[in-house]
Amino acid sequence: MASAFKKGEWPTYNGDYTGKRYSGLTQITPDNVKQLRAVWVFHSRNAGTLEVTPVVVNGVMYVTASNDAYALNAEDGQILWHYSRPVSDGLIDDAAGHINRGVAVWGDRLYMETDNAHLLCLDARSGHLIWDIAYTDGNKNYGATSAPLMVKGKVIVGTSGGDDGVRGFIAAFDAQTGAEVWRRWTIPAPGEFGSSSWPGNLYLHGGGASWMPGTFDPELNTLYWGTGNAAPDYDGTGRPGDDLYTACVLGLDPDTGAIKWYFQFTPHDLYDFDGVETPVLVDRIYDGQPRKLLMEANRNGFFYILDRTNGKFLSATRFAEKLNWAKGIDPQGRPIYTDVKPTAEGTLVCPGEVGASNWYSPAYNPGTQLFYFLALDECSVNSSKPQEFEEGKEFYATGGRRDPNAKGKKRLMAFDASTHSFAWIYPQVGNAQSWGGVMTTAAGLVFFADDANSFEAVDARTGKSLWHFNTGQPQHASPMSYAVNGKQYVAIAAGDDLFTFALP
């Protein structure tokens, strides 16, 4: 897939439309990466933990915290402007978590979501507000934590609140005027395909939030967007059947929001297995044929390969060491369930409540043809009890408790789609505190947030550790790389600071 983006820029959350989190820059190599030094650190006041991936366009870096946007000189970190509004009162759960993952850009305009699901359009040169649109109906349970995606002059947004009984949707707004172009509900209304899972008005509270940016294939004119868990999370008695379109990846028409196809990873989810992990678009030889693939390391512990032209299931490979909710995946892509389910007394479920993978980014390198991601091996004790939806309250129908007797272990894994196995695995020695992601470069490096509060670089072919830098605090964000005036930089947020690195 050709990219219209300029080399050296990082113009979207994932660096491009494919979700590969791959930088074509080659100045920093396996040979010289040892010399990498922190060049500046940006501290965001009152931000909580930064989850942003910065966007860099025309030498300017845009960094967000919840309801805060900063434009920085990407060479030295100098603040060019700062837009801020107070965090909202009365929000719950993730919406109250001070989470924001970044911006979308379009010419001189910048777009961000607020904690209470407004879409803001700012002047990228000054930070002045151009327009502000509330894109939910004011239900207290909705929030927004994602970065918008700019596609064909439309800003595409999602929401969070899938654990709080919202009705999920993905919506597109005209980038110029802010007028709504389409809204694709992820839970069907009565009479629509899939509605039999949602008796009465339960469809209004079925979850399926869309809290991570999707990916886009311009040639197929298809948008790929993941949906979150069904609600209530742990009690499925009121939502019989598959609970479409929760825990899915949707292939959408970006012009109308129509569903071209869907693939459901976890039908009738009882485990909080949101399907929002990045759907990475990869063109490569697969089973002897050139194919347009979609690859995803799903939270349920399986690595999926789909044909992204039609959503057809091609393969699933188990990557979670601890996995007891399914015996495997059948040839149609449906899980073969065990009887491990949340109960009133609590059941040990593996992967646990935060999944074997989550929103922290994976990466794919076209040079090595390997897919890199961090996996968590951990279980939780999940319990369930029926619960009525109430506005302003979480809607988990009880929950998961991370297993206190078995601390989770993280592994950096390099998946090889030609053998359906792992080229290498790099076990982490920390205590699974990191929520950081992975990025890879054309020079053959993989950068990631390791589990000892360090930002680390390994050889993309072998997994050999080459460099690390102790950020002194856990990373809860994904790395990126950019170049200004011929110099390559690498950046990642850790705690409420953003660290930027370059060669001397």
Ligand X SMILES: O=C(O)c1cc(C(=O)O)c2c(n1)C(=O)C(=O)c1cc(C(=O)O)[nH]c1-2
Backbone angles phi, psi at 95, to 5 degrees: -65, -25
Nearer to ligand X, 161 or 495 (CB): 161
Nearer to ligand X, 9 or 51 (CB): 51
Nearer to ligand X, 161 or 238 (CB): 161
Nearer to ligand X, 74 or 149 (CB): 149
β pairing state of 438-441 and 22-23: parallel
Backbone angles phi, psi at 13, to 5 degrees: -50, -50
Query: Are residues 145 and 160 in contact, defined by beta-carbon separation less than 8 angstroms?
Result: yes
Q: Is 461 exposed, middle or buried (0-12, 13-18, 19+ CB in 10 A)?
A: middle
C-alpha distances (whole Å) from 102 to each of 54, 64, 111 are 6, 5, 9
The catalytically annotated residue of 115, 235, 243, 272 is 272
Could you tell me which residues are beta bridge partners of residue 489?
Answer: 482
Q: How many residues does the chain have?
A: 504
Q: Can you say whether the dihedral through the CA atoms of 21, 26, 30, 36 is positive or negative?
A: negative
Q: Can you say whether the dihedral through the CA atoms of 16, 19, 20, 26 is positive or negative?
A: positive
Nearer to ligand X, 276 or 443 (CB): 276
Backbone angles phi, psi at 203, to 5 degrees: -60, -25
Nearer to ligand X, 161 or 194 (CB): 161
Is position 132 annotated as part of the catalytic site? no
267 alpha-carbon distance from chain centroid: 20
**Alpha carbons 501 and 491: distance in angstroms, whole number:** 6
CB of 358 to ligand X, least distance (A): 5
Query: Are residues 71 and 62 in contact, defined by beta-carbon separation less than 8 angstroms?
Result: yes
**Alpha carbons 32 and 466: distance in angstroms, whole number:** 9
Residue type, 210: S
**Can you give the binding site for ligand X, defined by CB under 6 A?**
51, 94, 99, 145, 160-163, 209, 211, 228-229, 272, 274, 354, 358-359, 435
CB of 171 to ligand X, least distance (A): 15
Instruction: Tell me which residues are annotated as active site.
Output: 272
